Amino acid sequence: MSVAARLASFASTATPSESALQIMRLSLFDWAAVAIAGREEPVARILRDVEGSSGGPADASVVGVTGKQPAKIAALINGATSHSLDYDDTHFDHIGHPSVAVIPAALALAEKTQATGPDLLEAALIGAEASVAAGVWLGRSHYQAGFHQTATAGAFGATIAAAKLLYLNAKQIEHALALVSTRASGLKAQFGTMGKPLNAGIASSNGVEAALLAAAGMTSDPAALDGSQGFAETHAGMADTTAFDGLGDDWRMERVSYKFHACCHGLHAMLEAVRDVQVDPSAIRKVVIHTHPRWLTVCNQPAPQTGLEAKFSFRFVVALALYDHDTGALETYSDHICRDPDLVRLRDKVTVQEDASLTEVQARVELTFDNESSVLNGDLDQNLMIAEKKDRLRHKAQSLFGPDLAEHLHRTIEAGDVDGLAAVLRGA
Amino acid sequence: MSVAARLASFASTATPSESALQIMRLSLFDWAAVAIAGREEPVARILRDVEGSSGGPADASVVGVTGKQPAKIAALINGATSHSLDYDDTHFDHIGHPSVAVIPAALALAEKTQATGPDLLEAALIGAEASVAAGVWLGRSHYQAGFHQTATAGAFGATIAAAKLLYLNAKQIEHALALVSTRASGLKAQFGTMGKPLNAGIASSNGVEAALLAAAGMTSDPAALDGSQGFAETHAGMADTTAFDGLGDDWRMERVSYKFHACCHGLHAMLEAVRDVQVDPSAIRKVVIHTHPRWLTVCNQPAPQTGLEAKFSFRFVVALALYDHDTGALETYSDHICRDPDLVRLRDKVTVQEDASLTEVQARVELTFDNESSVLNGDLDQNLMIAEKKDRLRHKAQSLFGPDLAEHLHRTIEAGDVDGLAAVLRGA
């Protein structure tokens, strides 16, 4: 069976578990929160200027735009806006961010088709699950070659979410996937530029378009994903078909990671390690952070001078956390705070060491005081209970834009109110 | 200097030669002709259904749609429509079809910006020339790996054409090229499906969007084309920077090839060889066609039963030509004609032989009669005079949709009348 056929069969027949749906509800809440928080980022403003005031059919809502827009435009802008802060969810198997590519496509077509909240949730979950499977199928080789799985695998997932809401049959879904395979794209060479969030928006928009075209009768060749010179072969994909084993039984989306800190993901295991510690930071003599070697080239700014640099600094961010600053709030990471004498003093007592025995999502922090020391461990794979994740995501949303909007958004999503969610986004 | 900077510098400073502009005028005419002729192809109809009735800003015209559409929608539909018959121009250095990706972008933004005819022509030429250079830069390895240069290199050319009409400065053009590099895509795995013409439309639309976003201030990293893990490296590009030597002095578009026959390009050199011969076809005893080995796997259907198969048959198409059927008209290639007794009789006297001493655009045909024989040579590189190309393209347009529309279209383009051309397309 071709990969397109396997994914189409999954999309047509899957019955999500209740726990997977609960996680997707959290992802939907978190996605909306980071999309709202990103609405004034330059990439979001430019996309609204160029694409968002265009009239056309009033299918779907765009963050920060009063009137509704065509579905693929809404997916484009919302995808890029929600990834603009890089504060959205991550799946380490997928090697990417599932929600920013899939949810905008699902939401746009849920609005267009006047779907219910449960329909939206199911389509988003099945699309996200398919995108993670596609990410695993493409594998590490694809990422290492320079491709951005968020965008490439994301386009396949967005297509499936869109196809679900359009009630495509399995054959139509195969053609939609084959059509999107010729435009699924996105390079890591865009990292550090507006092109990175744009990649997510493009993936989402491509998914919407491919599903709409397949619904209208456009066809392609379902072998275009895994056949000769298909997507995997041309894009350094490992084409690991075991990626699809258990699809629909074991829901990988249950293991999606949320960011609770508005800084580089490489710092998060360290921040989780020190999260519950109650110490007098001025009494600390020495801090040693042990981390996976990969992160030393990513987020080891020794002495950041700007808020942006701070987001990539083990030494400074551990000081922020130990002094109880809100590492979940965007405005914490200011140029000004980089010069805070207490923080700088503590920063200069920090050493960062690589430790290949740790995974990428683990960290160990040693705090040394005059007469004692403690060792703290953080592990992002150590899954929180759903209720705890929910609490922390609510806290994150409050940190981003205050309690009133955060709680309104939370209630709206708990109620499965698609129109309400759309209205929140438009009004943001 | 980065590839983006080289292309941006070319776009900003080039002064086209008069002969290159004359060729571009022919390409514009031929592009419009094949676009009009393709308007009822399924891919064109589906795109119009899904995208072409969407309202939105009335920027630009779409073949066969009364009202104007947003520029990127117009580029999408017109690009796919004009490539739907595979009857558009080809550049063998580019390894692709330059006009179908570039002209729709240029025309859409010429309409949007109310540019003059000479401005449209210059932008289209500079964009097409850039796309050919990009095709050479990506090279044979890119094509062999499975990428469709028409779409990938085409997206870079479309971006430049669009950027010219938006008066972007060189820096903005670099960013537009960097933005399009993360979505330039298109696989040969789509060949034989609606995905092939769709690739051209996507390229054109992506070029329009990238230029509009750069005009509004979106930025990326100009190293995204040729830097580490940039477009060339991730897409099996040869990254042959000699591709840009002489850019702006020697205009490669002067050597673009037109299709004068509505069949596979592999048959065209053979058809040119027999074009002027005056013989009694019933007196022919034997025909031997010598061709480059590549074509034997592409267009050597020995006994076609359908019009589509006929388009890929040396044996049958040489019979058509020798019996003076119009090989430029679409309707010539019918299922019915495949059963014509005279044609079948002649077809069965034809042998096809590979000859590695011939180039891909050369063919040799030996006709044997009872008492004599003749050897005829065809070479698509043997450039016709511009006036002769023009005559043949007018004849082609007449074969496609009759003399009235063909001559009206021709006069409109000769007059440099952008609004007139747009009106012809809308009304087609």
Mean pLDDT, residues B113-119:
98
Task: Identify whether residues B105 and B34 lie together within a single domain.
Answer: yes
What are A300's strand-pairing partners?
A313
Is B37 within 8 Å of B85 (Cβ atoms)? yes
Residue whose tokens read 């891919």: B43
Per-residue confidence (pLDDT) for residue A402, from 0 to 100: 95
Mean pLDDT, residues B243-267:
95
A230 contacts in chain B (CB < 8 Å): 146, 187, 189
CB pairs under 8 A between A and B: 170
Bridge pairing between strands A373-379 and B350-354: unpaired
Mean pLDDT, residues B231-257:
96
Task: Identify whether residues A297 and A231 lie together within a single domain.
Answer: no
> Residue A353 is inside which H or E element, if any?
strand A350-354
B189 and A57 within 8 Å at the Cβ level: the answer is no
- pLDDT reading at B386 higher than 70: yes
A80: closest CA of chain B, how far (Å): 12
Indicate the residue type of B164. K
Task: Identify whether residues A349 and A298 lie together within a single domain.
Answer: yes
What are B11's strand-pairing partners?
none
Is B378 within 8 Å of B272 (Cβ atoms)? yes
The whole-angstrom distance between residue A223's C-alpha and the CA centroid of its chain comes to: 29
- pLDDT reading at B97 higher than 70: yes
Bridge pairing between strands B286-291 and B350-354: parallel
- Angle, helix A98-113 to helix A195-215, in steps of 10 degrees: 40
A223 contacts in chain B (CB < 8 Å): 189
Structure token pair of residue B356:
């590695």
Task: Identify whether residues B213 and B119 lie together within a single domain.
Answer: yes
Indicate the residue type of B426. R
B166 contacts in chain A (CB < 8 Å): none
Task: Identify whether residues B28 and B131 lie together within a single domain.
Answer: yes
> Is residue A352 situated within a structural domain?
yes
Task: Identify whether residues A17 and A74 lie together within a single domain.
Answer: yes
Task: Supply the pTM of this predicted model.
Answer: 0.92
Top residue of A49, A83, A174, A190 to mutate, by most chain B CBs within 10 Å, is A190
Task: Identify whether residues B72 and B106 lie together within a single domain.
Answer: yes
**Which residue among B47, B50, B70 sits closest to A54, beta carbon to beta carbon?**
B70
> Is residue A384 situated within a structural domain?
no
**Which residue among A54, A187, A199 sits closest to B229, beta carbon to beta carbon?**
A187
Q: Which residues of chain A have pLDDT under 50?
A: none
Show which of B355, B379, B403 is a domain's final residue: B379
> Which CATH number does the domain housing residue B302 bear?
3.30.1330.120
Is A259 within 8 Å of A90 (Cβ atoms)? yes
A50 contacts in chain B (CB < 8 Å): 209, 212-213, 216
Task: Identify whether residues B184 and B145 lie together within a single domain.
Answer: yes
Per-residue confidence (pLDDT) for residue A55, from 0 to 100: 67
Residue B174's alpha-carbon distances to B4, B179, B222, B347, in angstroms, are: 5, 9, 6, 54
Task: Identify whether residues B294 and B363 lie together within a single domain.
Answer: yes
How many domains, in total, are found in chain B?
2
Per-residue confidence (pLDDT) for residue A265, from 0 to 100: 86
Per-residue confidence (pLDDT) for residue B192, from 0 to 100: 87
B288-332: pLDDT as tens digits:
999 999 999 989 999 999 998 999 999 999 999 999 999 999 999
Phi, psi of B226 (to 5 degrees): -120, 5
B155-213: pLDDT as tens digits:
999 999 999 999 999 999 999 999 999 999 999 999 989 999 999 999 999 999 999 99
**Which residue among A47, A178, A234 sits closest to B147, beta carbon to beta carbon?**
A234
Of all residues in chain A, the one with the smallest CA distance to B237 is A234
Task: Identify whether residues A153 and A298 lie together within a single domain.
Answer: no
How many Å apart are CA A304 and CA A317, to the nearest integer? 10
Task: Identify whether residues A235 and A289 lie together within a single domain.
Answer: no
> Which CATH number does the domain housing residue B71 bear?
1.10.4100.10
Of all residues in chain B, the one with the smallest CA distance to A193 is B220
Structure token pair of residue B213:
């976003």
Nearest CA to B70 among B112, B120, B124?
B112
B13 CB burial (10 A radius; 0-12, 13-18, 19+)? exposed
Per-residue confidence (pLDDT) for residue B258, from 0 to 100: 94
- Any residues with CB less than 8 A from the CB of B246 and at least 6 apart, and which? none
- Show the domain range for B304: 265-379
What are A351's strand-pairing partners?
A288
Residue whose tokens read 């999107």: A180
How many Å apart are CA B239 and CA B227, to the nearest integer? 10
Task: Identify whether residues B301 and B422 lie together within a single domain.
Answer: no
Report ipTM (2 d.p.).
0.90
For the beta sheet containing B373-379, the strands, ordered from the edge strand earlier in sequence to the opposite edge, are: B350-354, B286-291, B362-368, B373-379
Structure token pair of residue B412:
């409109």
Indicate the residue type of B70. P
Per-residue confidence (pLDDT) for residue A112, from 0 to 100: 97
> Is residue A201 situated within a structural domain?
yes
Per-residue confidence (pLDDT) for residue B218, from 0 to 100: 96
Alpha helices of A52-186 — where are they, by DSSP H? 71-83, 98-113, 117-145, 149-165, 170-181
